């Protein structure tokens, strides 16, 4: 009898593993938005549960002596096996614990009831293609065979069931497909009972219990060699079956008891905790992430790193707003360097060879937009005797730009030079009479910079039709200001950094920002950190013109792509007539780069 032969193996599992992860994440975030969860807390909860899911899938394979060595502070051993049961136990525990750890008042447990079987079913597609978790030998018409370099073929060869001349395994039960069918049945049953169960958390417990029952049944068709954990045979059952069947019965019993003693409980409304409490939760997650980094795949590292960084920036903004009048606000903000230093330990780094010179080019595109205001005052006299004429202006602009940069790097030293070009529109409204003016702006910008480990400097020139915004100008004289913008044809560019860029530095940028420094990004002074990485990653905080604060970053991805975001916010100079407080103005810039044409050569050290 001819049997179906699987010819694709390795990449299947990783592909469907990632698909299941991202699909579950999108569904859960969308549900959080729909149910109006506090978004930052909800995302951090998902990160926490995901980390426990991954840690649980591997920690059950950690031998006792290696575990004690890890506790003592040594390196975490590499573990490639994954246990479904360990992942489910740790992930389920995370769902329960996170509700109390994050002081989350919403019901979150049932949010995972459907996501869990859906994600597991998608992962099992990858298992089927890769041949892991394979079934026992079978002659059924739907049995499948696997080629060389797959687990079914390897296990059968080890047991002398096939020889080295056999290029495919004996046919086996497609036990992964049996489990997928069972998981689909679980989803259908959950739909049936979702309105019948009245107590929060019961739907998730039913989901887990049904998944255990499906696994108990499919274990009868699974090869004993395909287990990585709890695969020993005891009488007719495996140790996995002996563990999960009583667990499923206990869960079903708990559901019945809870439903029998039902009393209506109103779902609480999530209240925002102090940003500082959320910060300590963020610090805890970052520590766990850094400690177990070797057990995460690259896509998970990038996702968790991005989420924790985004959460940190939002919390910085919340703390600035909450403690805007506190003398300790900058001390609070400075604490956020701790999670970034910890996260930097998770980023893949490459040691710099001081004799190896790397040359490459970077092409970049980007855009910038702003909506803010400023004033221009002309007057005479001093103190209380001063008489001034002041005009307030609303500013808007939209610019897009592109450029090419040539890079030469040797060890910790790097030389960059290039050309940028921008084109856009700047719109100004004078508040006193609503007079509006529009300026089309364009810019050609050659520049160069030199970077070392402990410092850096750069310079350039802007040429074209340029507009820059006055920085709330006061000057002596007479008359009325006509505009808060000055048009020029040339403008200088300057940059200076002091301190090790990998760890902590201070810098100053004058008309130095991609894609455009003008009209809104003229000056920036602040501090930053390279987060411990050697690939150029950095994050900066500081102060800009017109009482703006900013956060910016430079994030290389796989040493090919570069993301450069800048976000500025600050109080309006114009009070809202319906409020005693000023509105907040915003500016945003985003640059995207691609590195190419890499060349390497060994040379003498730079002097």
Summarize pLDDT for 208-262 with one digit per residue, the tens.
Answer: 999 999 999 999 999 888 775 556 777 778 888 888 899 999 999 999 888 887 6
Render pLDDT for 163-191 as a digit per residue (tens, 0 to 9): 888 888 899 999 999 999 999 999 999 99
Residue bearing the bigger pLDDT, 110 or 465: 465
Q: Does residue 607 carry a pLDDT above 60?
A: no
What percent of the chain has pLDDT above 70? 80
pLDDT of residue 190: 92
pTM: 0.54
Name the token pair of 187.
């989803």
In degrees rounded to 5, what are phi and psi of residue 570?
-170, 165
Residue bearing the bigger pLDDT, 170 or 288: 170
In degrees rounded to 5, what are phi and psi of residue 475?
-145, 160
**DSSP assignment letter at 63:** -
pLDDT of residue 67: 64
Q: Does residue 339 carry a pLDDT above 80?
A: no
pLDDT of residue 151: 86
Q: Distance (Å, rounded) from C-alpha 552 to C-alpha 569?
A: 12
Name the residue among 470, 480, 444, 445 with its Cα closest to residue 460: 445
pLDDT of residue 606: 39
Rounded to the nearest angstrom, the gap between the alpha carbon of residue 138 and the centroid of all alpha carbons in its chain is 45
Q: Under a CB-based contact definition with an 8 Å cutoff, are residues 514 and 365 in contact?
A: no
Least-confidence region, from 95-104, 130-139, 589-598: 95-104
Name the token pair of 579.
């409020």
Q: Specify which residues 371 forms β-bridges with.
A: 396, 586
Q: Under a CB-based contact definition with an 8 Å cutoff, are residues 244 and 218 in contact?
A: no
Q: Does residue 334 carry a pLDDT above 60?
A: no
Average pLDDT, rounded, for the chain: 80
Number of neighbours of residue 482 by Cβ within 10 angstroms: 12
Name the residue among 332, 326, 337 with its Cα closest to residue 277: 332
């Amino acid at each position: 009898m001819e049997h179906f032969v699987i010819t694709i193996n390795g990449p299947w599992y990783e592909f469907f593993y990632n698909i299941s992860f991202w699909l579950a994440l999108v569904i859960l975030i969308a549900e959080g938005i729909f149910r109006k969860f506090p978004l930052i807390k909800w995302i951090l909860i998902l990160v926490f549960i995901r980390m426990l899911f991954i840690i649980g899938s591997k920690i059950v394979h950690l031998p006792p002596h290696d575990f004690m060595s890890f506790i003592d502070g040594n390196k975490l051993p590499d573990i490639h096996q994954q246990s479904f049961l360990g992942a489910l136990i740790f992930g389920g525990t995370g769902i329960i614990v996170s509700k109390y750890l994050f002081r989350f008042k919403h019901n979150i447990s049932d949010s995972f009831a459907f996501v869990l079987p859906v994600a597991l079913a998608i992962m099992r597609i990858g298992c089927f293609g890769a041949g892991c978790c394979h079934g026992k030998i079978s002659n059924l018409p739907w049995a499948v065979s696997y080629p060389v370099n797959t687990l079914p073929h390897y296990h059968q060869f080890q047991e002398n069931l096939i020889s080295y001349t056999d290029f495919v395994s004996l046919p086996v039960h497609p036990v992964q497909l049996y489990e997928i069918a069972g998981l689909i049945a679980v989803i259908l049953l959950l739909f049936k009972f979702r309105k019948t169960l009245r107590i929060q958390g019961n739907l998730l417990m039913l989901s887990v219990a049904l998944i255990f029952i499906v696994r108990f049944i499919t274990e009868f068709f699974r090869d004993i060699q395909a287990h990585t954990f709890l695969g020993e045979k005891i009488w007719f059952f495996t140790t996995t079956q002996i563990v999960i069947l009583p667990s499923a019965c206990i869960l079903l019993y708990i559901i019945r008891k809870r439903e029998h003693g039902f009393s209506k409980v109103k779902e609480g409304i999530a209240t925002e905790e102090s940003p500082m409490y959320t910060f300590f939760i963020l610090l805890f997650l970052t520590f766990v992430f850094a400690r177990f980094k070797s057990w995460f795949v690259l896509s998970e590292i990038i996702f968790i790193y991005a989420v924790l960084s985004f959460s940190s920036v939002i919390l910085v903004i919340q703390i600035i707003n909450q403690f805007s009048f506190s003398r300790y606000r900058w001390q609070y903000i400075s604490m956020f360097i701790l999670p970034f230093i910890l996260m930097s330990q998770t980023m893949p780094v490459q040691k710099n060879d001081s004799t190896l010179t790397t040359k490459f080019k970077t092409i970049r595109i980007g855009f910038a937009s702003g909506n803010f205001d400023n004033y221009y005052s002309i007057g005479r006299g001093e103190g209380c005797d001063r008489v001034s004429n002041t005009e307030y202006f609303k500013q808007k602009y939209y610019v897009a730009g592109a450029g090419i940069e040539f890079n030469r790097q040797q060890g910790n030293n790097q030389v960059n030079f290039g050309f940028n070009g921008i084109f856009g529109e700047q719109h100004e409204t004078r508040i006193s009479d609503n007079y509006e003016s529009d300026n089309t702006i364009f810019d050609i910008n050659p520049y160069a910079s030199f970077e070392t480990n402990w410092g850096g400097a750069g310079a350039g020139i802007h040429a074209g039709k340029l507009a820059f915004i006055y920085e709330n100008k006061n000057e002596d004289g007479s008359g009325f200001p006509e505009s808060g913008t000055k048009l020029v044809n040339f403008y200088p560019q300057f940059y200076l950094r002091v301190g090790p860029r990998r760890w902590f530095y201070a810098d100053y940028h004058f008309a130095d920002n991609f894609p455009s420094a003008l009209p809104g990004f003229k000056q920036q002074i602040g501090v930053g950190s390279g987060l411990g990485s050697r690939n150029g990653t950095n994050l900066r905080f500081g102060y800009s013109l017109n009482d703006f604060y900013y956060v910016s970053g430079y994030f290389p991805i796989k040493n090919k792509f570069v993301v450069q975001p800048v976000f500025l916010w600050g109080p309006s100079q114009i009070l809202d007539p319906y409020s005693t407080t000023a509105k907040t103005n915003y500016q945003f810039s985003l640059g995207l780069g691609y590195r190419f044409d890499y060349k390497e050569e060994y040379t003498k050290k730079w002097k």
